[in-house]
Structure 1
Amino acid sequence: MKLTTCAIGLLCSLASASALSADPINVSSSGSVIGDDVLYSVGGGSAVTMGSAGNMDSISVGGGWSNNLVCGNMNLSNTLENQLNGATAGFQNIMTSVVQNATGAVASLPALILQRSNPALYNLITNGILQARLDFDRSKGTCRAMANRMADIAGEQMGWGQLAEGQAMGKTLTTTPDAVAAVQQVEAQGGNGGVTWVGGNQAGGSGQKPIQIVGDVTKAGYNLLNNRPAGDPSAINKDTCKNGLVCNVWSTPAEASAFATRVLGEKQQQTCNDCPKTVTAAGVGLIPLIQEAYDKKLEALQGLLNGTKPMTAENLNAASSTSIPVTRGVVKALQDERDQDLLAKRLASEVALADVLEKSLLLQRTMLAGSKEPNVAANNLAVQTINQQSTDLQQEIQNLKLDLEMRQQLAKNSPMTIIEREKARAENSRGVFHGDPETGRLNQLQSPKTNQ
């Protein structure tokens, strides 16, 4: 009967140990902790806050600012007609009554005949055209100044369009030396030509690939760190990687880009006239990634503990990170640990934290390398965005560090004091000598009774 009970108990313990639960660490789930001081000395249950989150949806903005080259929509012909016909101020303010008489003459007589038949009227109209031209140039200059001020406030919304316009002007002047014709051609084209982006290709324009700043720069950095062209999309196998820093973590530039955009989000830019200029997607940060890594590390670790997975180097690596390796000795010690469930989960949380932080620091280095790509480095708008994203990532890492340190400090505060005081009381109780409550009672028992 005792053997049967022991066998049932052993089976139940193995079943509970083999349950792959990735729930948050719950101290009460396995009864009282054998070594409470161990629990609080390591900082409590999990290393940092963990939880899941889905990917954020993209948000399109900038539809109202899609006409980035607004000044190119100005029309000189309409300006002249409105000036001479009195529809707008300018020449009308100079000689209103004469303009009204000039309208009919201009409609019926060619300029040469008008000059011969009425030189004064011809000169008046010529001066009116000159005045209208001056007003047009002044208005266009004012529009350009307003656009520049708006670019200072709106930042990338207008800046990318101005960059596309400037590059288009440079290309147009190489084939069209006529300055007036070049300006007209650039204004008609707008931002449809896009800008020069990673690898020297045009992007962001009409029919071109959108500019995905975080993803494209991360891909470029991945390739540059592996001594490849910035736009190479191919994978790197383990033999070619040769223990490389980046290719050991992500086998393709797309994997590195997916990690970056999930953590940091994405900022997509376009310069074409009839498309949204900016499309943004928020990142989820590092906490959901730590939760996902924790689930995988705990599953691998529990497989080693319950014997369902052999203790091979590959299985040990699956439960480890680069900075916190799980060795055979650690697994053996946990197998003999009476509070195995709690400590295994704590170990898995620390390994998951280390794994995600390692990837985050490597992502920072990858983005820094990508920002040195010539076409990216020459684009101050892109460099500013990458620097801001790198700062955000560094802040996320600092928040995790603060969370870890705060948990350790709080867990070592009141809980450890309570446990230490309880231990002190227990030690003191062992040294108390309980004396005889009645003095000389033993002597009285041993002495013979006397008759009273």
Structure 2
Amino acid sequence: MKTWLKAGALAGATLLFVQTPAFAAFNISAEEASAGYGKAMKGAVNDNLFYSIGGGTVISQPPSNNNMEKIGLGIGWNSDLMCGNFDLSTTVKNQLNGATAGFKNMMGDVINGATGAVASLPAMIIQRANPGLYELLTNGVLQANVAFDKAQLNCQTMSKKMGDYVLSNKWTQAAISEEFKDIVSSTTDAVQASNRQQQSTGKEGVKWVGGQKKGGSGQAAIKPTYDLAKAGYNILNKQSVTSNAAVSNSACNGGLCQKYKTSAEAADAVVKVLGDRAIRTCAQGTDCGSGGLENEPGVSTPGEGFSPMLDTATKENLEILVKLVNGNLAPNATNLATLKTGDLAVTRGVIQALKDDPDNGALVQRLAGELAMADTITTALAMRRMLVVGQSEPNAAEQRLAIEESDRRLEFLDREILALKNEMEIRKSISNNSILVTITRQEAREVDNSLRQDNQQNDRAIQGLSQSTEE
């Protein structure tokens, strides 16, 4: 009998010695462990269970937790070829005087004195005094006009070609097109309208969300991601597309207004994930330099993706779950609602099951990440919905460039969601391969060895039992 007691005490001491706090294996700080995980955090970890559920966190840590800074060009970017800056009189003068290797070079020394004649004599006197010279000058003017028209046409062609490669130039052309609509409505002279259009610089901006002019001189920059997300939020919550007001509790009908109280808050969250850029429509960058860095032409805000959001939600969920499982928080509806779970509900029964499980350290760690993943996916889909709805705003829908930019951000969002899904599946697949096979084979060997005992050892055990019985 004494031998049995000694053996039991020795086994208990050995088991206590090999037990390891779970926060060392699950990347949980000692503070979180002391915050109330107690008994459950100090239990032995079942390796088979640990790797069966993924072997740690749902996805890897984000590359950086730093806030993304705005990146500007640092210069005034001229985004348009101003073909209207060409001057007809200068072109004719240079053609006649040979400055552009035109008419004078073709005629050689025939009219070496043409410059002086043109400068001192009216056309009528030249015609009477020297009809031949007058005819040559007339032909030179006609040739200069043709050369001017050709040069201007080449300029306009190059300007349109630039629009295929430079996004800001496309916005400038869009602004000039809107200016031309106003010009045509104010005059019936086609030549005058064309001349005024050639002098347009895009400083008037374009009609943007809510009918407001944006992007021009003295105006706020066009921010496609921010503006469309804000408009989408307001449309979904039946507010004016440009409203900054908070949605009241009585008017809140859906999960979006519960997560974000104002359109600005929602739009900021979208930009933080997807990024954005500031667009100005002025042909001369210096004409649209007002509004600080965030409104500077070409300024871009990089998106950080969903990894930091998922990491933050995982840490918050882990802290709450630790307290719920340990009993520091009651598993009532109010406390359970503080978990970030998206549309995935966590019941009181789940918490009780975790309390009763001897390997709840691994389960709690994994559950915190999976709930955070569900919340992140729900948030991503809400952001996607905001942008899609924002595209339906009538003024924004008229701007094809804005829709293309929004579509590009939506594609980035979809890739981010797919990347999260793929990483979670890949990490779980890897943990289920050689590591899990190794653990499974070790467990099988332990079971097999326990069934094969040495016969001599069994005989000695029986003899010891008989001796203790006789005593």
What TM-score do the two structures reach when normalised by structure 2? 0.81
Partners of 2:43 and 2:358 within 8 A in 1: no
- The aligned amino acid for 1:36 is D
Aligned: 1:120 with 2:132: yes
Structure 1 Cα separation of the partners of residues 426 and 220 of structure 2 = 45
Structure 1 Cα separation of the partners of residues 441 and 227 of structure 2 = 58
Provide closer, same or farther for how the CA distance between residues 104 and 311 of structure 1 changes in structure 2, counting only shifts above 3 A: same
Structure 2 Cα separation of the partners of residues 167 and 411 of structure 1 = 59
CA displacement 1:301-345 (0-9 Å, x = unmatched)? 233334444433232111141333222222233334444444322
Q: Secondary structure at the match of 1:100?
A: coil
Partners of 1:204 and 1:269 within 8 A in 2: yes
Provide closer, same or farther for how the CA distance between residues 298 and 106 of structure 1 changes in structure 2, counting only shifts above 3 A: same
Aligned: 1:422 with 2:442: yes
Which of 408, 416, 423 is matched with 1:396 structurally? Answer: 416
CA displacement 1:246-281 (0-9 Å, x = unmatched)? 223222111221111111111221012224642212
> What is the aligned-residue identity percentage?
39
Q: Could you say which residue in structure 1 is the equivalent of 2:163? A: 151
Aligned: 1:301 with 2:301: no
Structure 2 Cα separation of the partners of residues 171 and 245 of structure 1 = 44
Q: Could you say which residue in structure 2 is the equivalent of 1:50? A: 61
Partners of 1:62 and 1:277 within 8 A in 2: no
Aligned: 1:271 with 2:248: no
Between Structure 1 and Structure 2, how many residues are aligned? 418
Partners of 1:86 and 1:96 within 8 A in 2: no
Provide closer, same or farther for how the CA distance between residues 145 and 63 of structure 1 changes in structure 2, counting only shifts above 3 A: farther
Aligned: 1:248 with 2:268: no
Q: Could you say which residue in structure 1 is the equivalent of 2:123? A: 111
CA displacement 1:65-99 (0-9 Å, x = unmatched)? 51414323222222122112211122223324345
Q: Could you say which residue in structure 2 is the equivalent of 1:350? A: 370
Q: Which runs of 5+ in 1 are unaligned?
A: 1-12, 23-29, 443-452
Superposition map of 1:22-421 within 5 A: 33-51=44-62, 52-61=64-73, 63=75, 65-154=77-166, 156-242=167-253, 244-272=254-282, 273=284, 274=286, 275=288, 277-421=297-441
Structure 2 Cα separation of the partners of residues 177 and 266 of structure 1 = 42
Structure 1 Cα separation of the partners of residues 415 and 91 of structure 2 = 54
Structure 2 Cα separation of the partners of residues 346 and 413 of structure 1 = 18
Provide closer, same or farther for how the CA distance between residues 410 and 212 of structure 1 changes in structure 2, counting only shifts above 3 A: same
- The aligned amino acid for 1:262 is K
Structure 2 Cα separation of the partners of residues 245 and 437 of structure 1 = 68
Partners of 1:41 and 1:416 within 8 A in 2: yes
Structure 2 Cα separation of the partners of residues 139 and 166 of structure 1 = 22
Partners of 1:69 and 1:162 within 8 A in 2: no
Q: Secondary structure at the match of 2:300?
A: strand
- The aligned amino acid for 2:224 is I
Q: Secondary structure at the match of 1:104?
A: helix
Q: Tell me how large the CA RMSD over aligned residues is.
A: 2.9
Partners of 1:69 and 1:190 within 8 A in 2: no
CA displacement 1:12-65 (0-9 Å, x = unmatched)? x9x99996549xxxxxxx678432222111111101112342222222249575
Q: Which runs of 5+ in 2 are unaligned?
A: 1-20, 34-40, 289-295, 463-471
CA displacement 1:196-242 (0-9 Å, x = unmatched)? 21122211110111010111111122122223332222221222012
CA deviation after TM superposition for structure 1 residue 153, in Å: 2.5
Structure 2 Cα separation of the partners of residues 127 and 20 of structure 1 = 93
Structure 1 Cα separation of the partners of residues 247 and 131 of structure 2 = 80
Partners of 1:62 and 1:278 within 8 A in 2: no
